């Protein structure tokens, strides 16, 4: 039997790690397949908190599938090739479990594809457990709960689906935690930015998007003090410019998200600033502007940028 690698996107967040870990366990227990959850980067501080809390070892980091002797992979929490493993075009995609838009995606063979407009890939994985009747171990329930909390900012994000609160309550019960108390502690664990260099800060949670021929990088950091991050604007901008030069990004958009008040500051540099301003109907002053009520890159930033760049 061939082995499957299961992984989320590059610069993995909590949902990417949790959903891949949960789906790999389901592959093994429900269908008897040889599946290993791996990661396309080192877990961030929020995810490290989660893994430590539930006593789970971090998935090992891999750079390519072929070097692992694997020909089949399963993607969770992403489907766009530029966000995936380096040799994604050289292996067979056996399945996709995702909650994002579908773009830049095609396969030579049929596959299992489950893409749903819910708050997290972890939400989808949880429903698959219920459908198969497999008992959910406490630690996996905790990981899936954490993935949902992370991607919906404790159910406050507009990406939260109507079904997600019930899923969160059920997972919290299985994981043996208080949803609000654990969720807030988890989110705060990911807001310690002072110890990170500007280069690390802009790469904590960053994804690339192909927008009408432009390679646009959209990054997000969570904080409890936007001004504290903006105080480092000069060094952050230098890091952004270096990243643009090294990777060919036409534009770089950084969301600085206040998780307590559910707002964001947008810091943007690039050759299409006019399109970025038009996307959000604001004017950048000193390269940044306030975006009230914005906490979701997936729903409140990328669709607006896509529409503006396509005009």
pLDDT in tens, 273-311: 999 999 999 999 999 999 999 999 999 999 999 999 998
Q: What is the pLDDT of residues 40-59, one digit of tens each?
A: 999 999 999 999 999 999 99
The pTM of the full predicted model, rounded to 2 decimals, is 0.81
Same domain, 236 and 120: no
Those residues whose C-beta lies under 8 Å from the C-beta of residue 178, and which sit 6 or more positions away, are: 172
The pairing of strands 214-223 and 34-37 is: unpaired
Burial class (CB in 10 A: 0-12, 13-18, 19+), 37: buried
**Dihedral sign for Cα atoms in the order 169, 173, 174, 180:** positive
Confirm if 255 and 264 have CB atoms less than 8 A apart. yes
Model pLDDT, residue 174: 98
Per-residue pLDDT averaged across 182-210, rounded? Answer: 92
Same domain, 83 and 227: no
Q: Could you give the angle at which helices 273-280 and 302-309 cross, rounded to 10 degrees?
A: 120
Model pLDDT, residue 311: 87
Per-residue pLDDT averaged across 109-115, rounded? Answer: 95
Same domain, 143 and 250: no
Same domain, 66 and 164: yes
Confirm if 120 and 15 have CB atoms less than 8 A apart. yes
Q: How many CB atoms lie within 10 A of CB 168?
A: 26
Inter-CA distances, 48 with 52, 220, 309, Å = 6, 18, 36
Confirm if 1 and 33 have CB atoms less than 8 A apart. yes
Confirm if 79 and 100 have CB atoms less than 8 A apart. yes
Model pLDDT, residue 215: 96
Measure the CA–CA gap between 121 and 126, rounded to whole angstroms: 9
Model pLDDT, residue 242: 97
Model pLDDT, residue 161: 96
**What CATH number corresponds to the domain at position 15?**
3.90.1640.10
For residue 92, list its beta bridge partners.
Answer: 72
Binding residues for Mn(2+): 9, 13, 15, 77, 99, 151
Measure the CA–CA gap between 273 and 294, rounded to whole angstroms: 19
Question: What is the band of 151 on the pLDDT scale with cuts at 50, 70, 90?
Answer: very high
The pairing of strands 251-258 and 214-223 is: parallel
Same domain, 34 and 139: yes
For residue 263, list its beta bridge partners.
Answer: 258
Same domain, 169 and 206: no
Model pLDDT, residue 266: 98
Question: How is residue 125 written in tokens?
Answer: 């994985």
Q: What is the pLDDT of residues 201-260, one digit of tens each?
A: 999 899 999 999 999 999 999 998 999 999 999 999 999 999 999 999 999 999 999 988
Chosen domain end from 134, 168, 190: 190
Same domain, 57 and 206: no
Q: What is the pLDDT of residues 48-99, one digit of tens each?
A: 999 999 999 999 999 999 999 999 999 999 999 999 999 999 999 999 999 9
Chosen domain end from 135, 155, 190: 190
Q: Is the pLDDT of residue 39 over 90?
A: yes
Number of domains in the chain: 2
Measure the CA–CA gap between 219 and 207, rounded to whole angstroms: 6
Measure the CA–CA gap between 196 and 139, rounded to whole angstroms: 29
Model pLDDT, residue 1: 59
Same domain, 260 and 114: no
The label of the residue with tokens 């891999």 reads 62
Chosen domain end from 127, 159, 190: 190
Q: What is the pLDDT of residues 6-31, one digit of tens each?
A: 999 999 999 999 999 999 999 999 99
Model pLDDT, residue 195: 84
252: containing domain: 195-310
Q: What are phi and psi of 121, to 5 degrees?
A: -65, -30
Binding residues: 9, 13, 15, 77, 99, 151
Model pLDDT, residue 269: 97
Per-residue pLDDT averaged across 104-126, rounded? Answer: 94
Same domain, 169 and 208: no
Same domain, 117 and 239: no
**What CATH number corresponds to the domain at position 230?**
3.10.310.20
Same domain, 166 and 282: no
Confirm if 98 and 123 have CB atoms less than 8 A apart. no
Same domain, 184 and 123: yes
Distance of CA 86 to the CA centre of its chain: 17
Measure the CA–CA gap between 152 and 296, rounded to whole angstroms: 8
Distance of CA 80 to the CA centre of its chain: 12
Model pLDDT, residue 103: 87
């Amino acid at each position: 039997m061939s082995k499957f690698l299961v992984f989320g996107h590059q610069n993995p967040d909590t949902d990417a790690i949790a959903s891949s870990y949960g789906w790999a366990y389901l592959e093994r227990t429900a269908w008897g397949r040889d599946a290993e959850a791996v990661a396309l980067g080192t877990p961030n501080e929020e995810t490290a908190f989660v893994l430590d809390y539930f006593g789970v070892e971090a998935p090992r980091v891999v750079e390519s599938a072929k070097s692992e002797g694997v020909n089949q992979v399963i993607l969770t929490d992403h489907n766009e090739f530029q966000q995936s493993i380096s040799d994604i075009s050289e292996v067979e995609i056996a399945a996709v479990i995702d909650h994002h838009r579908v773009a830049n995606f095609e396969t030579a063979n049929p596959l299992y594809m489950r893409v749903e407009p819910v708050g997290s890939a972890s939400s989808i994985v949880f429903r698959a457990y219920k459908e198969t009747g497999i008992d959910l171990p406490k630690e996996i329930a905790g990981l899936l709960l954490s993935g949902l909390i992370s991607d919906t900012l404790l159910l406050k994000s507009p990406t939260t689906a109507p079904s997600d609160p019930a899923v969160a309550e059920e997972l919290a019960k299985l994981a043996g935690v208080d949803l609000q108390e654990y969720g807030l502690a988890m989110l705060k664990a990911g807001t310690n930015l002072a110890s990170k260099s500007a280069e690390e800060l802009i790469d904590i949670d960053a994804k690339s998007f192909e927008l009408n021929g432009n390679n646009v990088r959209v990054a997000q950091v969570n904080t409890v003090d936007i001004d504290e991050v903006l105080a480092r604007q000069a060094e952050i901008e230098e890091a952004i410019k270096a990243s643009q030069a090294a990777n060919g990004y036409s534009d770089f958009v950084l969301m600085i998200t206040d998780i307590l008040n559910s707002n964001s500051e947008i810091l943007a540099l690039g050759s299409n600033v006019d399109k970025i301003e038009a996307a959000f109907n604001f004017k950048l002053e000193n390269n940044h502007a306030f975006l009230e009520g914005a906490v979701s890159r997936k729903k409140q930033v990328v669709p607006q940028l896509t529409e503006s760049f396509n005009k």
